[in-house]
Amino acid sequence: MAGLSLAGVGKRFGEHAAVSGLTLDVAAGEFVALLGPSGCGKTTVLRMLAGFEQPSEGHIRLGGRTLSDASRHVPPEERNMGMVFQSYALWPHMSVADNVGYPLKLRGVGGSDYRRRVGEALAMVELAALAERRPQELSGGQRQRVALARCLVASPAVVLLDEPLANLDRHLRAAMEESFRAFHRRSGATLVYVTHDQSEAMALADRIAVMREGRLVQWSTPETLYRQPHSEWLAGFIGQGSVLLLPGAVPGRWLEGDALMAAAEEAGVQGRGPVLVRPEHVRLGERGGLRARVERAVFRGERYELGLRLADGSALLAYSARRLAEGSTIGVTLDLGWGLEPEAGTPGRR
């Protein structure tokens, strides 16, 4: 299988740069997510990969083959890629099997080869027993799996997925996440998955490309994005946490234990920098720690989410197994913090 490569890819619509300078190398068989808020350019990237848009600059390659650059453009039907849309796009008058086999009919595949490949694709998404049903007889999750099977039947090198769970309710989305993981394991295909939901991307992808305003913010594993984000914006976009302004903060370095607590106790010191503290790294009820006032306590099922206020006015997020009274004061100890790159133009940053 061939890897997918984007080098310096940009796309302009008139004077507007939808995507700028995007460089990614996706390994064959990898599951990657393009993640970011609405309007960040991730769907434009997917459309360039599919061949629906041509880059204004840079190039896209699959293996050693150039698919697109500023002067060359391979049409979608010649790219050996499959696409799964948010809307499923199933033919209502066709059975599940006929929907899945439609791409094969367009290629002139028939007879026993056609039946075998349709059967294998349906088995891959565990829908063989529903082959003769119509789409309107299926649940939303089953329709999505039919769309996956239709994509898979043509044995694409790359599967592109555009917000495939956006139309499903929360319970079904959780079930479909497991279906996507199983689909990836069984098919071995390279998957490029577009979403604005960070929990979806974190749960599914081997690596995530986070985009903002058309540019790549960070390209890394879910664990690294959560534990070691580059910027304050990304620290707030991925997961929960608090950003404290502390002396001794160095971007890309950890502050921990006594050093972190000593920095947190030096309120008002000059030369401070942003430090990310995740709520699981905040211990409550510690003697000799920082004092914090409980401003809110929200029950989240398995725990309470506490909004705390430190003596210097900094907000701090923490978790607790029990409810604490709003307005009460508690001791807190910070165990671990990660130095962030300051946001450009943010007051109070060095």
- Comparing 139-148, 198-207, 228-237, 335-344, the range with the smallest average pLDDT is 139-148
- Of the candidates 128, 126, 131, which has an alpha carbon nearest to the alpha carbon of residue 141? 126
Q: Tell me the domains of the chain and their CATH numbers.
A: 4-227 (3.40.50.300), 234-339 (2.40.50.140)
Comparing 162-171, 217-226, 256-265, the range with the smallest average pLDDT is: 162-171
pLDDT band, residue 347 (cuts 50/70/90): very low
pLDDT in tens, 192-224: 999 998 988 999 999 999 999 999 999 999 999
pLDDT digits (tens, 9 = 90+) for 7-56: 999 999 999 999 999 999 999 999 999 999 999 999 999 999 999 999 99
- Where b means 16+ CB within 10 Å and e means fewer, 153-185 reads bbebbbbbbbbbbeebeeebbeebeebbeebbe
Three-state SS sequence of 71-118: CCECCHHHCCEEEECCCCCCCCCCCHHHHHHHHHHHCCCCHHHHHHHH
As a whole number, mean pLDDT of residues 146-166 equals: 84
| Rounded average pLDDT over 280-290 | 86
Q: Has residue 238 got a pLDDT over 90?
A: yes
167 vs 34, more confident = 34
pLDDT at 316 over 80: yes
What would the 3-class secondary structure string for the chain be?
A: CCCEEEEEEEEEECCEEEEEEEEEEECCCCEEEEECCCCCCHHHHHHHHHCCCCCCEEEEEECCEEEECCCCECCHHHCCEEEECCCCCCCCCCCHHHHHHHHHHHCCCCHHHHHHHHHHHHHHCCCHHHCCCCHHHCCHHHHHHHHHHHHHCCCCCEEEEECCCCCCCHHHHHHHHHHHHHHHHHHCCEEEEEECCHHHHHHHCCEEEEEECCEEEEEECHHHHHHCCCEHHHHHHCCCCEEEEEECCCCCCEEEHHHHHHHHCCCCCCCEEEEEECHHHEEECCCCCEEEEEEEEEECCCCEEEEEEECCCCEEEEEECCCCCCCCEEEEEECEEEECECCCCCCCCC
Give the model's confidence band at 349: pLDDT under 50 very low, under 70 low, under 90 confident, else very high: very low
Confidence label for 70 from pLDDT (cuts 50, 70 and 90): confident
- How confident is the model over 151-157, as a mean pLDDT? 82
Residue 270 confidence class, pLDDT cut points 50, 70, 90: low
Over 70: is that where the pLDDT of 350 sits? no
What percentage of the chain exceeds 70 in pLDDT? 94
Work out the pLDDT band at 100, boundaries 50, 70, 90. Answer: very high
Quote the tokens at residue 320.
Answer: 């607790």
Look at residue 348 in the predicted model and tell me its pLDDT.
44
Mean pLDDT, the chain, as a whole number?
89
